[in-house]
Structure 1
Amino acid sequence: MDQERKAIISLLSKFRLGFHEVHVLPDINQKPRAEHTKRFEDMIAPFRLNDGFKDEATVTEMRRDCPWKISDEEINKNRVKSLRQVRLNEILQDSSRDAALVVITLPIGRKGKCPSSLYMAWLETLSQDLRPPVILIRGNQENVLTFYCQ
């Protein structure tokens, strides 16, 4: 944990970015509070396919006509990632109250594996109720920052 903190401080210094404190968050994998999980589930409820209650032909037709709808299978496959977004929002609310700006890397939603409505719910959940402005940035899991030292 201390090594990660030193690496972030070094990176911020190389880019000459001013900062007062650097906190590395250790409890990201804890379960989120029940009320926040319920809020997320309520948010996605209108976009649920609820395919467990329908026959296969109806489900296939609904998936074709409404590809943004979230199936029960997709909910289960993305449960850990969804709960992580809820937990991240809790941490951001607790840790970033006095921040001037919050920068968050967008979660990765695999095409064909994550319906658009679920992905948008993740984005809403990440930034929900945060006081400082939020910038969502996207990367492709490669180093993209280049810096030059003279």
Structure 2
Amino acid sequence: MSDAKTGLQLKTSNVDTWWLYDDGGLNILLPYVLTNRVVKEKLPLRIFALPKQNCKLEESQKSIETLLAMYRIDYSQLKLVNGLYDAPDEDSWALFESIVGHYKSKEQSECYVTEEELIKQHTKTSRYLRLREVVLENSSEAGMIVMSLPIPRRNAVSPPLYMAWLEMLSRDLPPMLFVRGNNTPVLGV
């Protein structure tokens, strides 16, 4: 599917948004506008979100549905994603190692990743690798994916490691737009 006026080409009619953090709603608003205004015909918007911690799945689902209804966000599917804390497959680790391997160094530098940093960031890396697997399972056939941009922590994560995480989240997937709001609500006034 393509729109001659904007040049936006979608291989299917779904736009998937992965709402990983509540940072003001920009990650929901942008794909909503895309699916309703950018192409000639309305496209289905599928929303994937994480359940709230310490909250039952049904309660989280109801809470998100209420929020989306309050702001009149029309969507075709809402799916709460579980299993992000499961261990990623060995194939995912191997791919990650092949990406980050070019930037490994024993010396501390913002241009390289040290073994110490990889050990320190193992849990977060594991979560991003698992997220990649879940996104591949659910959105590999989407026309476009919009995902919350992980927060880059200055002086906590080296630029090469952060970029390796982004590469893992977007590799072998449809066109992807990473979005990061500034915690100012954009849904409604």
TM-score, normalising length: structure 2 = 0.64
Which residues in structure 2 correspond to 1:56-135 (within 5 Å)?
Answer: 59=107, 63=108, 66-131=109-174, 133-135=175-177
Percent same amino acid among aligned pairs?
A: 29
**Structure that is richer in strand per residue:** 2
Opposite residue 188 of structure 2, the aligned amino acid is F
Partner of 1:4: 60
SS for the counterpart of 2:173 is: coil
SS for the counterpart of 1:23 is: strand
Between the aligned partners of 2:143 and 2:74, the Cα distance in structure 1 is 12
Partner of 1:19: 75
* Higher-Rg member (1/2): 1
Opposite residue 29 of structure 1, the aligned amino acid is Y
Offset of residue 91 of structure 1: 0.4
Opposite residue 178 of structure 2, the aligned amino acid is L
List gaps (5 residues or longer) in structure 2.
Answer: 1-56
Offset of residue 113 of structure 1: 1.4
Q: Superposition RMSD on alpha carbons, in Å?
A: 1.8
CA deviation vs aligned residue, 1:75-126 (integer Å, no higher than 9, x gap): 1111111111111111011112343432211122311111100001111111
The ranges of structure 1 where at least 4 consecutive aligned residues each deviate by more than 4 angstroms after the TM superposition are none
CA deviation vs aligned residue, 1:5-38 (integer Å, no higher than 9, x gap): 1222222223333211111011110011101111
Size of the aligned set, in residue pairs, is 133
Between the aligned partners of 1:26 and 1:143, the Cα distance in structure 2 is 27
1:46 to 102, 106, 117: 102
SS for the counterpart of 1:103 is: strand
Q: Which has the higher contact order (CA 8 A, sep 6+)?
A: 2
Offset of residue 71 of structure 1: 1.0
TM-score, normalising length: structure 1 = 0.79
List gaps (5 residues or longer) in structure 1.
Answer: 52-58
Offset of residue 138 of structure 1: 1.6
